[in-house]
Amino acid sequence: MQHNVSLSAWRRLSFYLIALLLPLLVLAMLEGLLRLGGLQRSFPLVIPADQPGYLALNADFIQRYYSSAEQAPAIAPDSQYILAQKPTGSMRIVLMGGSSAAGFPYGRFGSPAAMLQQQLKLRYPQQHFEVINTAMSAVNSYTLLDITDEVIALQPDLVLIYAGHNEYLGIMGAASGRSHATTLLLLKLRKLALVQAAEQLYAWFNPAESANHSSRTLMATMAQKQQIPFDSTLYQVGLVQFDTNLRLILTQFRQAGVPAVLSTLAANEADQPPFASAALPEALLQNNISLTALQTFIDEQPQHAIAHYLLAQRLQQSGQYSQALSHFTQASDYDALRFRAPSAINQIIRQLSTEFNLALAEGQQQLRDASPDGIIGNSLMLEHLHPNARGYQLLAEAFLQAITDHLPTTDAASLPLTSGLLSPLHQVDLLQAEHKIARLKADFPFRIPARSYIAPEARTVPEQLAQQFSQGGNWLQLSQALLQHYQQQQDAPAAATVAAQLADALPYRADIASLAGQFYFASQILPLAEYYQRSALRLAPDDAQHYLMLSRTLYQQQDYQAALPVVEALLQRYPQHSVGLRQQAQLQQLLSRSTPKSQEPYHEKDGFLPYRIAAAPAVTGID
């Protein structure tokens, strides 16, 4: 009897287990069928490029977080080729972050990554660096956490993180109303074909909700979400998610043996009033209102953003700069429309840098030190938080100072920083950035009601090209047109900047790298000439001209010991090369002297001839 009871209990348990597992089995089979049928959507951070031996950042990556392409905003990481196999002796640095890390409004070549790479080229022209920028607008720590394993797969020697402004209103930000655990679960579930199919079905039956047809700026669209008062539940959610996600990110990098560097965030403190604040009484809007009256009002309403901002302005005008900075900071903290990270975000960044024993880039302090009265304003900011070109250079310098221990030790490492000089940006970059900022400021929350942006008449060639680019023109074609314009104007420094951008964008083209080297040589910016000539030689080691150009640049820098091996490498390939033999003789003569003579003019008999810059080659391969 007892045996029958036990058997019956076992059968009931088996039945319950089958009833529980059967739906899971069915779901697993459906998942497998959908994947076999090619119905799983996958948007990895990095995909194979159209050039052999290279990877590329995925322009469709952001669709990972949306049910359809129509629903996704028009944002993406900037185009960049990445070597599929990291070369021996190369150093690979990856930057992660949001729109400021991406270099908005300049794009790739105005970003802190490009500014940092420019400094590295100047200091270490003989070293091969890859600075990969994975940043894009509107993303926050959830996206950074989601791609951390993919960044590790790139085998970086160093990861730089500049993020925190988008924790509230960015994609999956605190304003979405989801809990941290729910958002992390959703990130995992969205990788399943079944979940993707369900989302696509919902989008198909609800096209009005799913389509992204707004003509507004991305910032205006994001700003339609709710305001988040200081120290509210959602305010605390944003801080907790940033702290938790960043801890997880740093833990993964530490476990992978990848050094990480965080940077404090900079924003416009002096010249950006709070976007959302309670109205002030008329009496406090008087130009001659006293500091005492403002302070009394703040004592009564300590979280009034505009009142803090007005008090800060008065304190700055009276020369009380430290007190002014304190109230500017509070004005930003109490701004309920959270496009700027509150000061608590920088506190978290500093705390985690200490806890994880990381080098800290003081981006905020770097910009403050370069600002009037030590308060960041329009001299370095284009609007509420995006730096201008000079500001981005300063952010790059903050990173450079923080990563010094990870860089090669050479005499070049002691070179002074070169803010304001040798920017990787050209005139069209600056002009098209003006169009972007003007369009941004014509919409909410800068202007209420919004107005249409009308571009000014374009008179010069750079102005015409900038307008074409801002209207969706092909970057490659416009860059080549600008290069030809500067060649016609015989403006070698400006042509060098354009050619260098093309060489960086198309790193497999030896002819373009050589052209950039020629223009920098003609401009007597010799470290950059050396860098691009070495790049050309690395790409096309059978081209004798690349050896000659590089040796000539090293000769001009009086680095005869470095020039001679270059000539000897040429002669190993082409033993009877007449110019190479003359250069070798000249260099051996110079090195044989106990005290090398000073730089001499080029002479044809020595083989060191002046450059004759070729016309720009036709280039294709990138939008």
Count of CA atoms in the C-beta half-sphere (13 A) of 468: 17
Query: What pLDDT score was predicted for residue 70?
Result: 84
Whether 114 contacts 77, CB under 8 Å: no
- Enumerate residues 6+ apart whose C-beta is below 8 A from 427: 462, 466, 494
Cα 147 to its chain centre, rounded Å, is 15
Query: What pLDDT score was predicted for residue 315?
Result: 97
Query: What pLDDT score was predicted for residue 75?
Result: 93
- Tell me, what amino acid is at 158? L
Q: Do domains 46-270+340-414 and 474-606 have the same CATH topology?
A: no
d(CA 496, CA 494) in angstroms, rounded, equals 5
Per-residue pLDDT tens digits for 164-173: 999 999 999 9
- Enumerate residues 6+ apart whose C-beta is below 8 A from 596: 558, 560, 590
Environment class of residue 265 by beta-carbon count within 10 Å: exposed (0-12), middle (13-18) or buried (19+)? buried
d(CA 492, CA 495) in angstroms, rounded, equals 5
Q: Which residues of 159-191 are buried (b: 16+ CB within 10 A; e: fewer)?
A: bbbbbbbbbbbbbbbbbbebeeeebbeebeebe
**What backbone phi and psi angles, to 5 degrees, belong to 160?**
-110, 140
308 membership: H or E segment, kind and range = helix 305-317
d(CA 168, CA 225) in angstroms, rounded, equals 10
| Cβ atoms within 10 Å, residue 26 | 10
Q: Which residues of the chain have pLDDT under 50?
A: 1, 213, 413-414, 418-420, 597-598, 601-605, 610-611, 622-623
Q: What sign results for the dihedral spanned by CA atoms 35, 41, 44, 48?
A: positive
- Enumerate residues 6+ apart whose C-beta is below 8 A from 102: 77, 78, 108, 111, 133, 135, 136, 137
CA distances from residue 606 to 494, 571, 613 in whole angstroms, order as listed: 30, 16, 20
Q: Spell out the alpha helix ranges (H) of 370-491.
A: 389-402, 427-441, 461-470, 475-488
263 membership: H or E segment, kind and range = strand 260-263
Per-residue pLDDT tens digits for 361-375: 999 999 999 999 999
d(CA 202, CA 154) in angstroms, rounded, equals 36
3-state secondary structure of 261: strand
Domain ranges (residues) in the chain: 46-270+340-414, 282-333, 474-606
Reduced DSSP (H G I as helix, E B as strand, rest coil) percent helix, strand, coil of the chain, to 5 = 55, 5, 40
Query: What pLDDT score was predicted for residue 617?
Result: 66
**Considering the domain 46-270+340-414 in this protein, what is its CATH number?**
3.40.50.1110
How is residue 608 written in tokens?
Answer: 């060191």
Q: What angle do CA 241, 94, 391 make, to 5 degrees?
A: 80
Q: Which CATH class is domain 474-606?
A: mainly alpha
How is residue 442 written in tokens?
Answer: 């014509």
Query: What pLDDT score was predicted for residue 540?
Result: 97
d(CA 390, CA 410) in angstroms, rounded, equals 27
Cα 42 to its chain centre, rounded Å, is 23
133 membership: H or E segment, kind and range = strand 129-133
d(CA 567, CA 581) in angstroms, rounded, equals 8
53: left (phi over 0), alpha (psi -120 to 50) or beta: left
Per-residue pLDDT tens digits for 178-196: 889 999 988 888 887 676 7
Per-residue pLDDT tens digits for 56-97: 999 999 999 988 888 889 999 999 999 999 999 999 999 999
Query: What pLDDT score was predicted for residue 601?
Result: 46
Query: What pLDDT score was predicted for residue 68?
Result: 82
d(CA 68, CA 76) in angstroms, rounded, equals 15
